[in-house]
């Protein structure tokens, strides 16, 4: 149930007609609460394993980084995940891995599941005015349509703030010293990387309150279980 027919010309990725965080080619309905949580966890685990295998450095961003901050897991009310790579890595993936399908088995899905790595050819246009193509690539669960948004961080030598500014097509900009060197960590139980100064990035994007507020989106944070619990 793709929104392709109603999307404006020039847009590459086409989300479903029933939810913006599902790929309509692979989905006809939304998953339930538990199914979505498990699927996003599997998405992250398979994505991170693949990028280790391909030698591409990737790190958590946006709401996914906020989930890591709280308890090293996807926020239970999230419906997608966000990862970032360098512009050079995006060139590499586009050259060698675009439209590749990867098959993964997990304890939760012993029969396995196929994941598609799809690169938006418009990634070569780094202009933020290309609003229809802010997402450079996606890691897509072909069984459910859920996906990870992948953006490329690139330097803009003409930026008015000078050198050292990383930016993405989705409009986010920040000092490269906030990101590099990356830190090793765990996310959803598997090795991952986060920015060098995650607190600064999160406070800039979500404000300080997001790092301490223990009730949100119908959930409260249980310190004993170290988990977000639905009300």
Residue 221 inside a domain? The answer is no
- By the 8 A CB rule, do 114 and 143 touch? yes
pLDDT for res 3: 63
Token duo for residue 99? 């439209």
Q: Which residues pair with 104 in a beta bridge?
A: 113
Residue 217 inside a domain? The answer is no
Residue 133 inside a domain? The answer is yes
- Residue whose C-alpha is closest to residue 64's, from 52, 47, 49, 50: 47
Which domain CATH number covers 122? 3.30.460
Residue 227 inside a domain? The answer is no
Residue 220 inside a domain? The answer is no
> Alpha-carbon dihedral of residues 125, 127, 131, 137, nearest 10 degrees?
40
What residue numbers bound the domain in which 190 lies?
4-199
Token duo for residue 134? 């802010």
Nearest-angstrom CA–CA distance, 117 and 83: 13
User: How many folded domains does the chain comprise?
Assistant: 1
Residue 116 inside a domain? The answer is yes
pLDDT for res 1: 66
Q: Which residues pair with 219 in a beta bridge?
A: 216, 230
Nearest-angstrom CA–CA distance, 27 and 12: 18
pLDDT for res 14: 95
- By the 8 A CB rule, do 42 and 34 touch? no
Token duo for residue 38? 């498990």
Residue 223 inside a domain? The answer is no
Average pLDDT, consecutive stretches of 10 residues, N- to C-terminus, the chain (231 residues): 79 96 95 97 97 98 99 98 98 99 91 98 95 98 98 90 90 94 98 98 97 98 98 92
- By the 8 A CB rule, do 20 and 159 touch? no
pTM: 0.96
Token duo for residue 144? 């459910």
Residue 211 inside a domain? The answer is no
């Amino acid at each position: 149930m793709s929104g392709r027919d109603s999307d404006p010309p020039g847009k590459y990725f086409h989300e479903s007609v029933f939810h913006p965080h599902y790929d309509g080619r692979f989905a006809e309905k939304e998953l339930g609460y538990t199914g979505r949580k498990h699927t996003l966890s599997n998405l992250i685990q398979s994505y991170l394993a693949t990028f280790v295998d391909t030698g591409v450095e990737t790190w958590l961003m946006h709401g996914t980084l906020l989930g890591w901050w709280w308890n090293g897991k996807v926020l239970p009310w999230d419906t997608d995940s966000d990862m970032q790579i360098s512009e050079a890595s995006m060139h590499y993936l586009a050259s060698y891995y675009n439209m590749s399908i990867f098959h993964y088995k997990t304890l939760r899905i012993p029969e396995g599941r196929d994941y598609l790595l799809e690169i938006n050819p418009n990634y070569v246009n780094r202009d933020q005015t290309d609003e229809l193509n802010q997402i450079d690539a996606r890691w897509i669960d072909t069984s459910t349509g859920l996906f990870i948004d992948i953006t490329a961080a690139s330097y803009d030598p003409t930026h008015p703030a000078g050198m050292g500014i990383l930016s993405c097509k989705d409009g986010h900009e920040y000092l490269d010293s906030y990101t590099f060197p990356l830190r090793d960590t765990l996310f959803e139980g598997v090795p991952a990387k986060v920015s060098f100064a995650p607190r600064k990035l999160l406070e800039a994007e979500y404000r300080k309150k997001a790092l301490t507020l223990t009730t949100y989106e119908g959930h409260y944070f249980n310190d004993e279980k170290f988990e977000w619990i639905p009300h």
